[in-house]
Amino acid sequence: MLDRKKDTLTPAIVHQPIAHDSAARHVSGDAVYIDDIPEPRELLHIWPALSPHAAATITAMDTEAVMHQPGVVAVVDANSVPGHNDCSPTIGDDPVFAEGRVHFAGQVLFAAAAESELQARLACRAAAIEYEIEQPILTIEQALAQESYVLPSSTISRGDPEQAIEDSPHQIEGTIRCGGQDHFYLEGQAAMAVPQEGGDMVVYSSTQHPSEVQMLVAKVLDRPLNSITVEVRRMGGAFGGKETQAAQWACIAAIVADRTARPAKLRLDRDIDMLATGKRHDFLFNYRVGFGHDGRISGLAVEMASRCGYSADLSMPINDRALLHIDNAYYLDNVTATTKLCRTNTVSNTAFRGFGGPQGMFCIERIMDEIACHLQKDPLAVRRRNYYGKRTRNIAPYGMKITDFILHELTQELVESSDYRTRRQRIRRMNKSDSTILRGISLTPVKFGISFTMTHLNQASALVHVYTDGSIHLNHGGTEMGQGLFIKVAQVVADEFSVPLERVKITETNTSRVPNTSATAASSGSDVNGMAAKAAARTIKNRLAEVAARSFGVNQREVLFHKESVIAGRSQVSFQELVGMAHRARVPLSATGHYKTPKINWDRQNMTGHPFYYFGYGAAVSEVALDCLTGEYRMTRIDILHDAGQSLNPAVDLGQIEGGFVQGAGWLTSEELWWDDRGALRTHAPSTYKIPASGDVPEAFNVEIWQRGRNVEKTIYRSKAIGEPPLMLCISVFSAISDAISSVSDYRQLPVIDAPATPERVLMAIESMRLRGA
């Protein structure tokens, strides 16, 4: 006999470690990215021309000669835009093509469209452009000195931090910086626009945000949204870099296609991609902290200044999220934190996995290390001393009660599994005897808020069709960038109908099937799209159950979907048969589903509310060894324990944890964005910008999903978002490097070192510590 209760409640496919839906296509080269789509006849290829200057007035721009180069069909610039020359996601300050002035080196001046990419590229050289060069503002310090901001500051505060710091037995003041980061998705930005009848446009875009691309293409073409369709099957990586940064290229392709009535493709090569698109914000932190003999923080004041670049883009919510994560896992009774959104003549910085959160956490984790060093305590003890409480000390600075704090338990498990204490003692002993190799170890936690802070973005829609042969067509608003969203949502839908995964066709994201979507961002993809798809499937399933109940004369509640069959009392039909019955009974087999995240609210004016539905948690222990003759170093062992709730797909989630950690480690170690004094980025390709390679990841890389994980909120199958939180586990690497250098002073001082901790910064920190000690 079938145990009805158990079998309907135990999902067969959800929670299984199933391979990425495209895995077999990835490995055989069959997976299609924008540049792989069979090229339509008459396709034009576009190349953009970039400004070499960071700040200048364009006194003359003559592109006549470009037009006469071989193969050139069109040259487009600010004057060619039929609608508004703007592709800003927010306040209207991102011209598609420069108008009169250039604001950063790498800004697009115009674009040439030709029969081949090479012709378009060579043609751009023929332009005659004259500039009046101005003095650029390049650094955070310069912007602060000149009070150059893209948007006003925000502050979160609680209690009386000034008084609390003053009354504390210990005070520390400090400054630290963390660098920016290029996304370095392997597939560069790409878009192809194909004109349709009646002036409509279909745009294939490598974007996390098809609806925004649709909106901005409509804006530049001055067309209604319903005449623009945007489609994306998959991206070759995105990491936030294709949330707003994909739009400009889609807009240019659409402008060319509209003007020439020919399909047009724009694919950025690596150099242009890195010069012309935004990156993670770099930050400068100034902090003062007061604390007790036990290491507990009594008062904290932080000023966090970020380099936003020349325009607003998403800098406001990114800086807000940095503020909202200045607490990380720690209760701050008296705190004030203020952002400064610096306007500089550099590319406009943008979303990048973590969205300001990593930077805020980076600051507080440095403060934890400083406190520990000052008090000569184990930094882990200081961290735990400051952890949020379960019943008391559980209100975040922005007024939200933290009800799901699991870091006490999770940390304890990790301390044991990683052998943290023994290794820390051993390292201290080894550092005394070995003068050339220095080792360091650190455990840092992550608590990351899940939801867009802008409440209305927390919604999603899906559209599910069941065809008469029982095959299922799944559409939702989320985009696939490698994170495994599509397979997770398909697992949910397959289980909802109790059919094998193979019955569910995963389709490209298309604005004409699911409209008005939010970006696939903020780690929210599977939370919201999984729920929306489940709702759509549930609607159809209920209709099918009704048909079965009617046909077999049973109560609808007695109809059970089980292993591709439908059981109604004593009768049993296959899923496919029931679908046929429903169709013949004229029951619709298509439905939409919608989901909005409950419980959240946010008062940005006062920076208070319940901005997050729940939190993602994790912790990492990193050990490093460094060579104090050259500053070169290596991670020697990493232990990670991360909470994925009840994971929808442990294989996918493990990949997100491992990959997120390594990507974060790159941010804080080897990835250095280096501008020259004229404002030109000089590290704009992998030859000069070094992301981690296989050899940088240690063999001892022990990554576990926390087995006790279960979301306290009613998320899809009690899972948790996984895209961003693991990235911040990397702060343990930076902290371990500090720990290793600190041994030079016999742990009496913490080194003065900014991120990324390049070998140069490490060696210089060692040298200056030696000088101070001497």
Partner 1 sequence: MPGQSAVRFLLGNQPREIADISPTMTVLEYLRQIERMTGTKEGCAEGDCGACTVAIAECKDGSLDYKACNACIMFVPFLHGKQLITVEHLKNHKSGRLHPAQQLMVDQHGSQCGFCTPGFVMSLFAMYHNRCDTSRTAIDDALAGNLCRCTGYAPIVRAAKQLLHMPVDDEFSANEQSTLVALSQLHAPERGNEQPDNASLHLQHTGGSYHAPQTLPELGRILQENPASCIVAGATDVGLWVTKERRELRALVYTGAVKKMRQITITDRAIEIGAAATVAEAMETLSEYYPSLEELFRRYGSVQVRNLATIGGNVANGSPIGDSLPALVALNAELKISRANASRTVSAEDFFIDYGQQDIAPGEFLERIDIPLPVAGQEFRIYKVSKRFHQDISAVCGAYSVVQDSGALHTVRVCYGGMAAIPRRASRCEQVLAGAGLTDDSIEQAKLALREDFAPISDFRGSAEYRTVVAGNLLERFANDLTGKQIPSVWEVQYA
The nearest distance, CB 30 to partner 1, in angstroms, is: 7
The nearest distance, CB 656 to partner 1, in angstroms, is: 8
Residues forming beta bridges with residue 623, ordered by sequence position: 441, 637
The nearest distance, CB 18 to partner 1, in angstroms, is: 10
Select from 403, 601, 606, 630 the one that contacts partner 1 (CB under 8 A). Answer: 630
Measured CA to CA, the distance from residue 318 to residue 561 in angstroms comes to 45
Strands 297-309 and 283-291 come out as antiparallel
Residues forming beta bridges with residue 84, ordered by sequence position: none
Measured CA to CA, the distance from residue 75 to residue 114 in angstroms comes to 9
Note if 724 is an active site residue: yes
Task: Give the dihedral of Cα atoms 201, 207, 209, 212; nearest 10 deg.
Answer: -40
Q: Is 771 in the site for partner 1 (CB under 8 A)?
A: no
Measured CA to CA, the distance from residue 741 to residue 671 in angstroms comes to 20
Measured CA to CA, the distance from residue 236 to residue 213 in angstroms comes to 18
Residue with smaller CB distance to partner 1, 173 or 416: 416
Provide the residue type at 301 as one letter: A
Run of H or E residues at 593: strand 590-596
Q: Is 59 in the site for partner 1 (CB under 8 A)?
A: no
Residue with smaller CB distance to partner 1, 348 or 622: 622
The nearest distance, CB 26 to partner 1, in angstroms, is: 3
Select from 631, 645, 723, 725 the one that contacts partner 1 (CB under 8 A). Answer: 631
Joined together, the tokens standing for residue 4 give 């009805």
Strands 335-343 and 297-309 come out as parallel
Phi-psi region of 61 (alpha: psi -120 to 50; beta: other; left: phi over 0): beta
The nearest distance, CB 383 to partner 1, in angstroms, is: 20
Q: What DSSP state is assigned to residue 169?
A: S
Run of H or E residues at 496: helix 485-497
Sole window of 166-174, 251-259, 301-309, 618-626 interacting with partner 1 (rule: CB under 8 A): 618-626
Joined together, the tokens standing for residue 222 give 């001055």
Q: Which of 114, 136, 135 is nearest to 125 (CA)?
A: 114
Measured CA to CA, the distance from residue 390 to residue 725 in angstroms comes to 21
Residue with smaller CB distance to partner 1, 186 or 585: 186
φ and ψ at 211, to 5 degrees? Answer: -65, -35
Burial 409-447 (b: 16+ CB within 10 A, else e): ebbeebbeebebeebbeebbeebeeeeeebbbbbbbbbb
Q: Which of residues 165-204 bind partner 1 (CB under 8 A)?
A: 183-188
Q: Which of residues 241-260 bind partner 1 (CB under 8 A)?
A: none
Measured CA to CA, the distance from residue 162 to residue 335 in angstroms comes to 8
Upstream peptide bond of 756 is cis (omega within 30 degrees of 0): yes
The residue to which tokens 């940390």 are assigned? 411
**Coil, helix or strand at residue 426:** helix
Select from 4, 10, 23, 294 the one that contacts partner 1 (CB under 8 A). Answer: 23
Select from 77, 495, 527, 623 the one that contacts partner 1 (CB under 8 A). Answer: 623
Sole window of 87-95, 195-203, 528-536, 622-630 interacting with partner 1 (rule: CB under 8 A): 622-630
Name the catalytic one among 212, 365, 713, 724. 724
Strands 56-62 and 128-133 come out as antiparallel
Sole window of 280-288, 446-454, 554-562, 621-629 interacting with partner 1 (rule: CB under 8 A): 621-629
The nearest distance, CB 160 to partner 1, in angstroms, is: 43
Residue with smaller CB distance to partner 1, 292 or 698: 698
Select from 250, 662, 668, 728 the one that contacts partner 1 (CB under 8 A). Answer: 662
Q: Which of 260, 252, 243 is nearest to 221 (CA)?
A: 252
Centroid of chain to Cα 116: 34
Q: Is 77 in the site for partner 1 (CB under 8 A)?
A: no
Contact present, 235 and 481 (Cβ < 8 Å): yes
The residue to which tokens 């530049």 are assigned? 220
Q: Which of residues 280-339 bind partner 1 (CB under 8 A)?
A: none
- Cα 420–425–430 angle (5° rounding)? 120
Sole window of 20-28, 302-310, 397-405, 741-749 interacting with partner 1 (rule: CB under 8 A): 20-28
φ and ψ at 220, to 5 degrees? Answer: -70, -30
Sole window of 145-153, 354-362, 390-398, 659-667 interacting with partner 1 (rule: CB under 8 A): 659-667
Select from 8, 10, 19, 421 the one that contacts partner 1 (CB under 8 A). Answer: 19
Sole window of 163-171, 191-199, 288-296, 653-661 interacting with partner 1 (rule: CB under 8 A): 653-661
Q: Which of residues 131-170 bind partner 1 (CB under 8 A)?
A: none
Q: Report how many residues bind partner 1 under the rule CB under 8 A.
A: 99
- As a residue count, the chain comes to 774
| Close Cβ partners of 577 (under 8 Å, ≥ 6 residues apart) | none
The nearest distance, CB 688 to partner 1, in angstroms, is: 6
Sole window of 54-62, 217-225, 232-240, 444-452 interacting with partner 1 (rule: CB under 8 A): 232-240
Measured CA to CA, the distance from residue 219 to residue 213 in angstroms comes to 10
The nearest distance, CB 642 to partner 1, in angstroms, is: 13
Residue with smaller CB distance to partner 1, 585 or 685: 685
Select from 25, 421, 599, 770 the one that contacts partner 1 (CB under 8 A). Answer: 25
Residue with smaller CB distance to partner 1, 30 or 62: 30
Q: Which of residues 26-45 bind partner 1 (CB under 8 A)?
A: 26-33, 35-36, 38
In Å, how far are 152, 163, 687 from 301, measured between CA atoms? 19, 11, 40
Select from 652, 731, 733, 737 the one that contacts partner 1 (CB under 8 A). Answer: 652
Select from 269, 409, 603, 746 the one that contacts partner 1 (CB under 8 A). Answer: 269
Q: Which of 123, 127, 108 is nearest to 45 (CA)?
A: 123
Sole window of 140-148, 331-339, 656-664, 746-754 interacting with partner 1 (rule: CB under 8 A): 656-664
Q: Is 380 in the site for partner 1 (CB under 8 A)?
A: no
Residues forming beta bridges with residue 617, ordered by sequence position: 447
Select from 15, 53, 103, 121 the one that contacts partner 1 (CB under 8 A). Answer: 121
Q: Which of residues 667-726 bind partner 1 (CB under 8 A)?
A: 670, 672, 674, 682-683, 685-688, 690-701, 703
Q: Which of 457, 506, 460 is nearest to 484 (CA)?
A: 506
Contact present, 208 and 234 (Cβ < 8 Å): no
For residues 426 to 465, the per-residue mask of contacts with partner 1, x marking binding by CB under 8 A and - elsewhere, is xx--x---x-xx-x-x------------------------
Select from 89, 161, 236, 397 the one that contacts partner 1 (CB under 8 A). Answer: 236
Select from 12, 651, 678, 710 the one that contacts partner 1 (CB under 8 A). Answer: 651
The nearest distance, CB 508 to partner 1, in angstroms, is: 14
Joined together, the tokens standing for residue 95 give 């011209």
Contact present, 262 and 41 (Cβ < 8 Å): no
Residue with smaller CB distance to partner 1, 2 or 629: 629
Burial 23-35 (b: 16+ CB within 10 A, else e): eeeeeeeebebbb
Residue with smaller CB distance to partner 1, 453 or 735: 735
For residues 735 to 764, the per-residue mask of contacts with partner 1, x marking binding by CB under 8 A and - elsewhere, is -----------------------xxx--xx
Run of H or E residues at 178: strand 170-178
The nearest distance, CB 351 to partner 1, in angstroms, is: 16
Q: Is 222 in the site for partner 1 (CB under 8 A)?
A: no
Q: Which of residues 472-501 bind partner 1 (CB under 8 A)?
A: 481-484
Residue with smaller CB distance to partner 1, 467 or 747: 747
Residue with smaller CB distance to partner 1, 181 or 315: 181
| Enzyme catalytic residues | 724
